[in-house]
Amino acid sequence: MNIELTAEQQALQREVREYMKGIMTPALLEEMKDHDLREGGGPEFRKQYAKMGADGWIGLSWSKDLGGKELSHVEQYIFTDEVIRSGFAYPFLTTEACTPVIAAHANEEVREEVVRGVQRGEVVIAIGYSEPNAGTDLASLRTKAERDGEDWVINGQKMWTSLANYADYVWLAARTDPDPEKKHKGLTMFLVPTSAEGFSCTPVRTLGARTNATYYDNVRIPDKYRVGEINGGWKLITSQLNVERLSLFTHGQVDSLYQGVAEWSAQTAGPGGGRLIEQPWVQHNLARVKTGLEALKIMCWKQAWSMDQGPLDMAKASTAKVYGSEFFVELYRLLLEVMGTAGTIAADSPGAVLQGKLEFRWRVGSILTFGGGTNEVQRDIIAMAGLWMPRSR
């Protein structure tokens, strides 16, 4: 039992941290002030994403025959953790969730087009799962794809299609068997080029970043853009969920907020003299955050390590999702309390603390507990898979 990064792993951590400092250029930081470009998509973002591709940083976890380096899950986690810490809008779902599935199941021509494009840092893929009436109960989705000769014709609407405003493709789940008995078994995956006729996108302005509603009005695409078997889509969707979760609740992004607030409170004058950090209630909040962070750090490492040993235990994966999301929200509050009212000043307003980073996270934090698989369903999974309790009804 040894719960520490090895010297090589620490070296990788430092290397990525240094490299990402060069990616977060002043021009990119300026560009990201635009609400619509916060999650990428602007020219400077495109430039830096392509630079990461040219420098060989994209697809490190992929197999060698795909051009990857077959990093272990622990190394991949270290990379992910550092990239998220840097604040770069790296499209993890494109590189880690979609592309390996596309590489394994797509038509050869599409595979070359997409995999090479992603590797060069030129291609971004948006996820088209949720619909206005299909969220947690995803398998009830209604967007349909019908065969017409060598083509498919797609009609329907997707919701919360983040990045679709600048993505090159939508990774779309569509119903190909209308039989209502075949809920999960009637779905097929497609890659829809956003340049296709009949595709459109309107912004949805959330408390945080821009996301989108996307519309499919007789979108006609050739069969080569179908990925995997007809009616075999559910397996492709669920196979990448664990990978997705490993990039949601990483330690570095919140550890840097903790460090930032601790440093700020050590430099800021407190009431009645001394520094703010000398106040007992400030120390209490920082200690509670530190206590939770330590469990988060080891949990992330153990998840990544376990994925290198074999399939991830379902109850443990759901535990990480619930603990991570609820702790993030708690941490935002505990840290923001330290700053008091000044903590509520948004980025770019005079007096904003830590460039308003914490204010932003605190404001939009509730997305975490339902996004990525709502916590009620995760708790159901824990009770069933971890404790052998019967299904709730």
Partner 1 sequence: MDFNIPEELASVNNLAQQILNDFTTVDQLEAIERQAPRFDPDLWQALATAGLLGLDIQEQFGGTDLGYYAVTALCEEVGRTVAPAPVVPVLVSAAGTLRRFASDQQQETWLPGIAAGSLQVSSALEEYANDDPTRPDAIAAATVGGYAISGTKICVSQATIARRILLSARNGDELVVALVDPRAAGITLSPQLVTSGETLHEMAMNAVQVPDEDIVAVGRKAVEAMQWIQRATRTALCAMMVGLADKMMRMTGSYTTEREQFGRPIATFQAVSHRVADCYIDVECLRLVTEQAASLIDQGRPAREASLIAKIWCGDTAHRVSQAAQHCHGGTGVDRDYPLHRYCLQARQIEMSLGNSAQLTAQLGSSIAEEYLASDPG
Give the residues lining the site for partner 1 (CB under 8 A): 1-6, 9, 74, 262-263, 265-267, 275, 277-278, 280, 282-288, 290-291, 294-295, 298-299, 301-302, 305-306, 315-316, 319, 322-323, 376, 379-380, 382-383, 386-393
Three-state DSSP class for residue 15: helix
Tell me the backbone φ, ψ of residue 108, rounded to 5 degrees: -60, -40
DSSP state of 247: T
Take residue 107 and report the two structure tokens written for it: 């038509």
Dist CA 41 CA 35 (whole Å)? 11
Nearer to partner 1, 94 or 325 (CB): 325
Dist CA 390 CA 309 (whole Å)? 29
Task: Give the number of other CB atoms < 10 A from CB of residue 75.
Answer: 20
Within 8 A by CB and 6+ apart from 29, the residues are none
Nearer to partner 1, 46 or 288 (CB): 288
Nearer to partner 1, 315 or 364 (CB): 315
CB of 295 to partner 1, least distance (A): 4
Contact (Cβ atoms closer than 8 angstroms) between residue 308 and residue 299: no
Nearer to partner 1, 115 or 307 (CB): 307
Nearer to partner 1, 101 or 286 (CB): 286
Contact (Cβ atoms closer than 8 angstroms) between residue 236 and residue 391: no
CB of 312 to partner 1, least distance (A): 13
Contact (Cβ atoms closer than 8 angstroms) between residue 169 and residue 189: no
Name 185's bridge partners.
none
Task: Give the number of other CB atoms < 10 A from CB of residue 391.
Answer: 7
CB of 257 to partner 1, least distance (A): 14
Nearer to partner 1, 173 or 354 (CB): 354
CB of 300 to partner 1, least distance (A): 10
CB of 379 to partner 1, least distance (A): 4
CA distances, 351 to each of 145, 274, 335, 341, 355 (Å): 52, 21, 17, 11, 9
Dist CA 189 CA 172 (whole Å)? 6
CB of 92 to partner 1, least distance (A): 22
Contact (Cβ atoms closer than 8 angstroms) between residue 84 and residue 33: no
Question: In which element (H, E) is residue 50 found?
Answer: helix 43-54
Out of 244, 326, 330, 337, the active site residue is 244
Contact (Cβ atoms closer than 8 angstroms) between residue 161 and residue 213: yes
15: annotated active-site residue: no
Cα 253–Cα 292–Cα 269 angle in degrees, nearest 5: 75
CB of 2 to partner 1, least distance (A): 5
Nearer to partner 1, 77 or 332 (CB): 77
Cite the active site residues.
244
